[in-house]
């Protein structure tokens, strides 16, 4: 479900350019299999310049070290995520290898993500929502206020951020009432 609201609204039923969204990107059985595998991963608390978040993460291919402000090599994307990466790449119109970075996040109750843009070293961003819904919030500055846009992402849904929405808008996730997982793939900029 898509909603808008602010001083400067996006027209009703219109999403900003560059946003693609698909419900039921994976089946309930595929979701169960992914959850079984990602639940076993060695998550670590998210760290940002000395601050520790309520969410836990693990990166593959590349990871961004917020304390050092640089991209570093990470372990390869595990085999069990490669079929999903292939489907994500088809959704994005890319070759699977273009999604060089994988990120799995475990959100505990109360966890969310504040306003941000993904680091400029990355380009297209694919996300898959697992276990519970979330509200993805988007905003961009317009004069003295913000244009805002929200997307309700149910379990098993996927989104792709490219172009305008990826580079001109910030996004975040409202704090969650229940546990959630997400799988993100990012391409790197040339």
| Sequence-distant (≥ 6) Cβ neighbours of residue 190 within 8 angstroms | none
| CA 64/CA 5 separation, integer angstroms | 32
DSSP string, 78-127: PGGGHHHHHHHHHHHTS-GGGEEEEEEEEEPTT--EEEE---TTEEEEEE
d(CA 186, CA 121): 10
- Does the predicted model carry a pTM greater than 0.75? yes
Q: How is residue 12 annotated by DSSP? A: T
Domain range for 98 is: 17-41+54-144+155-188
Q: Is residue 5 part of a domain?
A: no
pLDDT in tens, 4-33: 433 334 444 468 899 999 999 999 999 999
Does residue 161 lie within any of the structural domains?
yes
Whether 7 is in a domain gets the answer: no
**90 located within any domain:** yes
Does some domain include residue 150? no
Q: Output the domain CATH number for residue 107.
A: 2.60.120.590
Question: Does residue 36 lie within any of the structural domains?
Answer: yes
pLDDT digits (tens, 9 = 90+) for 32-85: 999 999 999 999 987 766 676 778 999 999 987 776 667 899 999 999 999 999
Question: In this structure, is residue 61 part of a structural domain?
Answer: yes
The count of structural domains within the chain is: 1
11: in domain? no
């Amino acid at each position: 479900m898509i909603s808008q609201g602010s001083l400067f609204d996006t027209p009703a039923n219109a999403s900003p350019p560059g946003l693609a969204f698909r419900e039921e990107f994976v089946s309930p059985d595929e979701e169960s299999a992914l959850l079984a595998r990602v639940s076993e991963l060695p998550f670590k608390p998210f760290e940002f310049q000395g601050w520790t978040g309520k969410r836990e993460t693990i990166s593959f291919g590349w990871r961004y070290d917020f304390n050092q402000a640089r991209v570093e090599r990470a372990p390869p994307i595990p085999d069990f995520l490669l079929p999903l990466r292939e489907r994500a790449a088809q959704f994005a119109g890319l070759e699977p290898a273009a999604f060089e970075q994988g990120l799995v996040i475990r959100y505990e109750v109360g966890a969310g993500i504040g306003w941000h843009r993904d680091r400029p070293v990355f380009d297209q961003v694919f996300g898959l929502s697992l276990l519970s819904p979330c509200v993805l919030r988007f905003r961009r500055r317009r004069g003295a206020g913000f244009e805002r846009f929200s997307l309700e992402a149910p379990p098993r849904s996927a989104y792709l951020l490219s172009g305008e929405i990826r580079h001109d808008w910030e996004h975040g996730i409202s704090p969650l009432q229940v546990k959630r997982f997400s799988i993100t793939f990012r391409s790197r900029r040339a």
